[in-house]
Structure 1
Amino acid sequence: MFGALVVLFIGMALSYDSFLVKEIDEVVAAYMEQLRNPALTNVFLWFTYIGSKYVEFPLLIGIVAYMRITCKNGIISSVLLLNLLLVRWLNSFFKESFGRERPVHKPLIDVGGLSFPSGHAMITASFYGLLVYFCWRRFAEKGSSVGARITAAIGILVIQMIGISRIYLGVHYFSDVVGGFAAGAALLSLTVVCYNFLIGETAKQREGHPGD
């Protein structure tokens, strides 16, 4: 999974200036413009807001505080913190490296910065994706397959809507969002592997010291 996502991201990074990808970007942008209406714009403004740092960081702080107070579990909160900081840094690095300018045709909001990959898509795929994974895992451990499926479905839907909102609002190309999702999902898969390894090692240490 990780390798396929990395290949997808690299492929998109190398091809977003190609004729084919530009045509796809234009077709998707034109379709989104046709869908615009006040009610739908408000919906996508809300989704783009919950994919911003103004929600991500307060949410992270709340989760860290809750985990520390209620269950004394620092592993999950630490992994979430590191994931959010790393994905934001990587997104800034990629944007500066590729230097793609944002769309200039009829954006509905004013934003600065560069375009590829979409920060909203990349960060939500990684950070919110990790939150969804932890919630899904919790339900699965309790034997609630329905809860796990509902959590996964809602989480995936919200992440997708955040990405779509950036195209609808005219601040990203379709290829920006695809590249962002690929990069974010790649980091998510790597984080999950590292987390599972970490808790496995922690469990081994506890088994080795049963009296502690």
Structure 2
Amino acid sequence: MILHGYFRSTASWRVRIALGLKGLAADQVFHHLRRGEQRAPDYLAINPQGLLPALTLDDGRVLTQSLVIVEYLDETHPQPPLLPSDPFAKAEVRAVAQAIACDIHPVQNLKVLARLRELGLDESAVQGWAAGVIEEGLDAVDKLLAGQSGRFAFGDAPGLADLVLVPQLGNARRFGVELRWNRLTDIEAACLELDAFKSAVPSAQPDAE
């Protein structure tokens, strides 16, 4: 397999964690987001959206969208499971993962922030807007997890929600958000005790700057 990513890409970070939890190896090809390498013709031939990550399978087929990739890996390599088997419990985990991946994370994408600057917002306003959305979203995630117990988001084993949460907390720090949610930071600390999470952090990647 080949993982197309970038060290600071939140979505790529999720997939790196999933690969680590599954004990799977993938070659990495790096596309520098700030230099626009994701819009190069050779990469657009792989992913017409020009977004990271993309995963090229051993047979040449390509998957895009991080949550799709993670669930594909979970279905094709079911141990250890990243989702519970019970339908309602599975839906609860997916709801938290999507609350982060669909409602919080997109506002930090370079494309969105660049558009805000084009519309005339100064850098302070852009950063403040993004930070505000992150805070509001993490408040909601904290409440969604309030009834859960265990070291991780849902119980005593890491899963889909954890591998989405940890990169988002990393992003929150980059935008100057004070992490005042003890439950969320406790989950993060538990995750970062595991090699799959430690090896996936941006600073540990070969293309880190």
**TM-score, normalising length: structure 2:** 0.36
Q: Of the two, which has the highest radius of gyration?
A: 1
More strand by share: 2
TM-score (norm 1): 0.36
